[in-house]
Amino acid sequence: MAETDSQRSQRELNEILQEKTAEVYGAGATVENLTKLSMGASRECWSFDVSGTGDSPVPLILKRDPVNYDADGSIAKPAKDHHTTRTTEGQLIVEGGKLDVPVPEVPFFLEQNERTTEGFIMERLEGETLGRRILRNEEYAEARPKLAYQCGHAAARMHQIPLEAVPEIKSMSAEEHLAMYYDQLSAIDHPYPGFEYGYRWLQERLGMAGDKTAFVHGDFRNGNIIVNEEGLAAVLDWELGHIGNPFTDLGWICVPSWRYGHYNKRVGGFGDLDDMLQGYADGGGGEIDPEIVRFWEAFGTLRWGIMCIGMGFSHIDGPIKSLEKAAIGRRAAETEYDLLQLVD
């Protein structure tokens, strides 16, 4: 029976990981338990262990661009999008670690060749990433009161990543960022008066955004962090990293949708704004006016609402029906309500 594209992809990935791990960990290193965790339109994640290092197995995660084959059997080069490359994403994690941001170790990278797309390998850490479990499970009860401060401290540190260390990332002002999402809203053939009102509220108050330019994580929220019993173990998913207003991150983690029903805790459903701002100041980010966070919280709510709308119409009008996209699309209504509550 002929080898399928999926089988070929996994075989060639196993071969190249074996070669790379032997270079990094020594000739006796062996790749085991290679398992695909997820595959979307733009990313692949794999879990594997490295044995034969003299100690216990090394648990690792690979994140790479998806493998698709051209008609001649060669690997197609992924289309460019607005995200960072996998190499840049891995480099950002390394740079964050140098500044004491809690991140996984990145032992090596994969370059695009005839057997694999571009990717990076990172340490597989113990802990929880699902936001609801972080807020609900008893084993994180002692961690939750620490998280807002720890997240503020981590944000301040990552906002100090030298921009010259990652010259490939894009730059976007607050005005450009807001206009980008409004253009997406305007392209939808359906009225959303709450989002229209929220956009105009933000446009009139751009002066509240804060006058600062730095590295921005871009998706810093409950759900993109690893939490263990001690608190914040790692900040994940750096693929939206860019140069812009760093207070974007402080507002995004406060968006009501990331509180998973725990609305009395403004920061991720687990903490208070004062604690996060104290952590930010102690991490070297300086004192922040809470009204700046309010602006970016409203901006983040508008942003997420428009993303929800896009997901919904992708399910309705797109070539592939998706229950997940349909469910996210339904959240546009609650996000529109959240936005009106914030700007009223």
pLDDT of 81 reads: 64
pLDDT category of residue 319 using cuts at 50, 70 and 90: confident
More confident call, 38 vs 152: 152
pLDDT beyond 70 at 138? yes
Range 291-303 average pLDDT: 97
pLDDT category of residue 71 using cuts at 50, 70 and 90: confident
Report the C-alpha dihedral over residues 124, 232, 222, 208, rounded to 10 degrees: -130
pLDDT of 257 reads: 96
CATH 1.10.20 fits 5-123, yes or no: no
pLDDT beyond 70 at 187? yes
pLDDT beyond 80 at 96? yes
pLDDT beyond 60 at 157? yes
Quote the mean pLDDT of the chain. 93
- The three-state secondary structure class of 62 is strand
pLDDT digits (tens, 9 = 90+) for 218-274: 999 999 999 999 999 999 999 999 999 999 999 999 999 999 999 999 999 999 999
Report the C-alpha dihedral over residues 323, 330, 312, 238, rounded to 10 degrees: -90
Backbone angles phi, psi at 123, to 5 degrees: -60, 140
Range 151-168 average pLDDT: 93
b/e burial code for range 288-305 (CB count within 10 A of at least 16 → b): beeebbbbbbbbbbbbbb
User: Is the CB of residue 125 less than 8 Å from the CB of residue 233?
Assistant: yes
H or E segment to which residue 97 belongs: helix 86-98
pLDDT of 78 reads: 73
Every domain of the chain and the residues it spans? 5-123, 131-343
pLDDT of 165 reads: 87
- The three-state secondary structure class of 222 is coil
Cα distance between residue 243 and residue 286, in whole Å:
18
* CA-closest candidate to residue 251, choices 228, 278, 276: 276
Where does 30-101 show beta strands of DSSP type E?
30-39, 44-51, 58-64
Cβ count within 10 A of residue 189: 6
Backbone angles phi, psi at 82, to 5 degrees: -85, 0
Range 48-69 average pLDDT: 90
Fold of 131-343: Aminoglycoside 3'-phosphotransferase; Chain: A, domain 2 (3.90.1200)
User: Is the CB of residue 45 less than 8 Å from the CB of residue 61?
Assistant: yes
Q: How many residues does the chain have?
A: 344
Range 49-75 average pLDDT: 87
Q: Which two tokens stand for residue 290?
A: 């809470």
pLDDT of 82 reads: 62
pLDDT of 41 reads: 52
- Side chain identity at 22, as an amino acid letter? A
What percentage of residues in the chain have a pLDDT greater than 90? Answer: 77
Range 121-145 average pLDDT: 97
H or E segment to which residue 59 belongs: strand 58-64
Cα distance between residue 258 and residue 86, in whole Å:
25
- Side chain identity at 85, as an amino acid letter? T
pLDDT category of residue 39 using cuts at 50, 70 and 90: low
pLDDT of 42 reads: 67
Instruction: List all residues 6 or more positions away from 293 whose beta carbon is below 8 Å from its beta carbon.
Output: 247, 250, 251, 254, 273, 277
